Amino acid sequence: MFYQEAGQFSTRYTQDHRVFRLRQDRYGLSTLLLFAFVAVPYLGNDYWFSAILIPFLVLSLAGLGLNLLTGYAGQLSLGSAAFMAVGAFATYNVELRVPGSPLLLSMALGGGVAALVAVLFGLPSLRIKGFYLLVSTLAAQFFVTWALTRFSWFSNNSASGVISAPRLEISGVDLNSPVGRYLLTLAVVVGLFWLGKNLVCSELGRNWMAVRDMDTAAAVMGIALLKTKLLAFAISGFFLGVAGALWAFTYLGTVEPHGFDLNRSFQILFIIIIGGLGSILGNFLGAAFIVLFPVLLSNLVALLPAGLIDAGQIENLQKMAFGILIIVFLVKEPEGLARLWQKFRERARLWPLRY
């Protein structure tokens, strides 16, 4: 009843092809963006910015990066954290060694370096398919963390490879406060998601999905496998690199290579599994889940009588609950939260009718 499509017809192909075809969706998105950019800075407090919203946004972006490669292009990867690390350390070095470099440019360059590294470790995808490709990205994961720790040049000769955030400012506006960092992150993430959405709906996105579904047929149709796969690695690497820079500088403040280890790669993989492979919205949903789940769980435990479960056990229980949820998701809704949302929307379009 409220979510009716009646009276909304596309008269031109461009209208039909729009990202949000329904007027209600467009209003909804505009309201959400308005709320995020204008209202939240006033309503939120420092804890929300620093501990919930910023990691949520950054992890969504990281999820999108991996989703482009694994969900859309079908190239399985466990090296996401390594590419994030490259982005973070490259951005740091650009800021350090190129004085006066604008922050956004440094991050873009950092992303660019990550893209190149991703392409390097993505080259084997031309010969190796499917599951075996894991080896290449795992090699990237271990090699990058080793190299960043071993060669202290990357971290300006600090003892254990630790780097810390540069001053965050754009055109003189200081962004170091929690609100400032939130707005910076939000702007970058929204911008890159817009780019990502365009890519996914474009010819390249379709080519990725073609390569994912059946690459021999894709080649027969004239799709250049080499270019398509390598672009997937490059663009994914870029997104992950920028996410890594944001993670290091707007969320943590200081980071060492160890913070981008295999567990982080798994975390991002879980985000896209739970959120939905091959989905844009899914990245947000998955990231929200990953960020909020531990918080929810510890709040739940706090409700129980004190001393019933000690702190160490909570971690173990969290691990178990997490694993169980992954399995449940894979069994019940393999297409993730995004698909659940889609089903909900489809019901809403027809409500109060059933079908």
Partner 1 sequence: MEFFFEVLIGGLLAGVMYALVAIGFVLIYKASGVFNFAQGAMVLFSALTFVSLLERGVPFWLAFVISLTAMVLLAVAVERAVLRPLVNRSPITLFMATLGLSYVIEGFAQALWGAQVHGLELGISDEPLELGGMLLSQFDIFAAVTAALLVLALSLLFNKTRIGLSLRAVADDPLAALAVGIRLQRVWVLVWAVAGFVGLVAGLLWGARLGVQFSLSLVVLKALPVLIIGGFTSISGAIVGGLIIGASEKLAEVYLGPVIGGGIENWFPYVLALLFLLVRPAGLFGERAIERV
Partner 2 sequence: MAQTQATKVEHLLVLENIGLSFKGVKAVTDISFAVAAGEICALIGPNGAGKSSLLNVINGVYQAQQGRIRFAGEEHRRMRPHDAAVRGIARTFQNIALFKGMSVLDNVLTGRNLKRRSSWIEQALRIGRAAGEDDRQREAAERIIDFLHIQPWRDTLVGKLPYGLQKRVELARALAAEPRLLLLDEPMAGMNAEEKQQMSRFIVDINRELGTTVVLIEHDIGVVMGICDHVVVLDYGRKIGDGPPDEVRQNPEVIAAYLGTRH
Q: What is the binding site for partner 1 (CB under 8 A)?
A: 76, 124, 127-132, 134-136, 138-139, 142-143, 145-146, 149-151, 216-217, 262, 266, 269, 273, 312-313, 316-320, 322-327, 330-331, 334
Q: How far is 213 from 74, CA to CA, in rounded Å?
A: 8
Q: Which residues of 83-117 are buried (b: 16+ CB within 10 A; e: fewer)?
A: bbbbbbbbbbbbbeeeeebebeebbbbbbbbbbeb
Sign of CA dihedral 116, 111, 284, 341: negative
Q: How far is 185 from 181, CA to CA, in rounded Å?
A: 6
Q: Which is nearer to partner 2, 18 or 258 (CB)?
A: 18
- 149 touches, from partner 1, partner 2, none (C-beta below 5 to 8 Å by class): partner 1
- Return the SS3 of 163: strand
Query: What is the nearest approach in angstroms of partner 1 to the Cβ of residue 156?
Result: 18
Q: Which is nearer to partner 1, 226 or 320 (CB)?
A: 320
Shortest CA distance to 108 belongs to which of 8, 239, 281?
A: 239
- 212 touches, from partner 2, partner 1, none (C-beta below 5 to 8 Å by class): partner 2
Applying CB under 8 A, what is the total number of residues that bind partner 2? 30
Q: Which of residues 56-115 bind partner 2 (CB under 8 A)?
A: none
- 322 touches, from partner 1, partner 2, none (C-beta below 5 to 8 Å by class): partner 1
Among 168, 190, 195, 340, the residue binding partner 2 under the rule CB under 8 A is 195
Q: How far is 347 from 342, CA to CA, in rounded Å?
A: 9
Contact segment (CB under 8 A) with partner 2 among 11-19, 150-158, 253-261, 319-327 equals 11-19
Q: How far is 252 from 164, CA to CA, in rounded Å?
A: 9
The total number of residues written for the chain in this structure:
355
- 312 touches, from partner 2, partner 1, none (C-beta below 5 to 8 Å by class): partner 1
- 142 touches, from partner 1, partner 2, none (C-beta below 5 to 8 Å by class): partner 1
Q: How far is 6 from 246, CA to CA, in rounded Å?
A: 43
Query: What is the nearest approach in angstroms of partner 1 to the Cβ of residue 249?
Result: 26
Q: Which of residues 202-231 bind partner 2 (CB under 8 A)?
A: 202-204, 206-207, 209-210, 212-214, 216-225, 231
Q: Kindly state whether residue 9 participates in binding partner 2, applying the rule CB under 8 A.
A: no
Q: What mask, x for binding partner 2 by CB under 8 A, covers residues 268 to 307? A: ----------x-----------------------------
341 contacts 28 by C-beta, under 8 angstroms: no
Q: How far is 198 from 145, CA to CA, in rounded Å?
A: 32
How many C-beta neighbours within 10 Å does residue 3 have?
15
240 contacts 88 by C-beta, under 8 angstroms: no
Q: Which is nearer to partner 2, 55 or 74 (CB)?
A: 74
Query: What is the nearest approach in angstroms of partner 1 to the Cβ of residue 347?
Result: 25
* Helix (H) or strand (E) segment spanning residue 135: helix 134-150
- 266 touches, from partner 2, partner 1, none (C-beta below 5 to 8 Å by class): partner 1
- 207 touches, from partner 2, partner 1, none (C-beta below 5 to 8 Å by class): partner 2
Long-range Cβ contacts of 29-36 (<8 Å, 24+ apart): 33/190, 36/186
Residues that bind partner 2 (CB under 8 A): 12-14, 16-17, 195, 198-199, 202-204, 206-207, 209-210, 212-214, 216-225, 231, 278
